[in-house]
Chains A and B, each alone.
Chain A
């Protein structure tokens, strides 16, 4: 990948300048996120299937005013994902609301409706309220040998799944912990900097609003390892709304929930479910599609 950093940044910024539902292209292998609300029609020109979709915060088991039908809105999100026909899907956690076995069972049943060949998950704090995460790992632990963090490759991009909901310190933000950071260092060590990297975790990996715990205390150590890569896309959930930023070659993006919205940072006593008029709910829930539109390929020829 030989795009200059300026060009990559301009392209990434172009990415973020459009509103939800716009599909656009980028060069240089920078991954580009498109947010699609349930209420949005399929955007024109979306003939290219997204590489993968991110769904998040389905909170199966929740049934209060903010959305008494979280099963239905998850099914609608899955329908939207299927219409887009991605290669695979990721779920960035809070699959369930109270970590209960029946909630996990129902979520798994609903998620089977995804046509995508694979679903890669990370837990949210609502999934591990039993302390050890036993229910979560019984169902989704295989990918990481019950450790929680793992990585895989797809279409030349390297995907890193991180867990930041099991190493909480009182009064603090999410945490990765020394073991996970050591694993990450080893996992990234021999990869060329031109490899597009996608990092996904439940809680935001950058500090969006510390008083509500929207951040990860030791994420800086992870970013020190990621900084050398030419394209890093960080996908998180947890806050039930889209917040994004670009920093050098790194794009940060949080997804909407499939269940209910939350207030903007600081708007109320805490990050609880936000009740909105039922007619407004659909445009506040949805998924994120990620596309690698065009990868610049260069080959050099000699005279003889």
Chain B
């Protein structure tokens, strides 16, 4: 029983490794607004709007600068935590990355 539990736990942790995620910026929204990834994953934001946006961490951890239409920005999250961000051109646009 204990062995089976251990094997299951190992399977879960293996499956949880490095799941990169994509956030689409469209119509003044981050989609999905909240994304969960495992430590070591890379999140890529792509701007599809005609208006530029930024992906700026509220804690100063990452900053994309202005992303024109079709431009992307990627950041690798090594440490677990909850990382909130906003667009500094349209600060009502917010999102978060939860790293497990």
Q: Is B91 in contact with A213, judged by CB distance below 8 angstroms?
A: yes
Interface flag for A168 (CB, 8 Å) = yes
**How does the 8 Å CB contact mask read for A123-141 relative to B, with 1 for contact and 0 for none?**
0011011110000000000
Interchain nearest-CB distance for A123 vs B (Å): 12
Tell whether A129 pairs with B94 under 8 Å between CB atoms, given A64-B69, A99-B66, A168-B86: no
User: Which of chain A's residues have a CB closer than 8 A to the CB of B94?
Assistant: 170-171
User: Distance (Å) between the CB of B22 and the closest chain A CB?
Assistant: 20
Q: Is A98's beta carbon under 8 Å from chain B?
A: yes
Q: How far is the CB of A236 from chain B (nearest CB, A)?
A: 16
Of A66, A98, A169, the residue contacting B91 (CB under 8 A) is A169
Kindly specify which of A22-30, A268-276, A284-292 makes contact with the partner chain.
A268-276
- A129 and B91 within 8 A (CB): no
Cβ-defined contact, B86 with A98, below 8 A: no
Within 8 A of B (CB), among A73-119: 97-100
B52 contacts across to A, CB distance below 8 A: 97-98, 126, 129
- A248 contacts B by Cβ under 8 Å: no
- Contact with A170, one of B49, B58, B66, B69 (Cβ below 8 angstroms): B58
Q: Are B27 and A129 interface neighbours, CB within 8 A?
A: no
User: Assuming A129-B54, A168-B91, A211-B92, is B86 touching A272 (CB within 8 A)?
Assistant: no
Q: Is A21 an interface residue when CB atoms closer than 8 A count as contact?
A: no
Contact of B86 with A125 in the complex, beta carbons under 8 Å? no
Give every chain A residue within 8 A of B66 (Cβ-Cβ).
97-100, 126, 129
**Would B63 and A131 count as touching, CB distance under 8 A?**
yes
Chain B residues near A64: list those with CB within 8 A: 50, 69
- Known contacts A98-B66, A130-B65: A270-B90 contact under CB 8 Å: yes
Chain A nearest CB from B62 CB (Å) reads 11
- B92 close to A171 (CB less than 8 A): yes
Q: Which residues of A contact B (CB under 8 A)?
A: 64-66, 97-100, 125-126, 128-131, 168-173, 211-213, 269-273
12 more CB-based (< 8 A) A-B contacts, given A99-B65, A168-B86, A212-B92: A99-B66, A125-B88, A168-B88, A170-B91, A172-B91, A172-B92, A173-B91, A211-B92, A270-B27, A271-B51, A272-B49, A273-B50
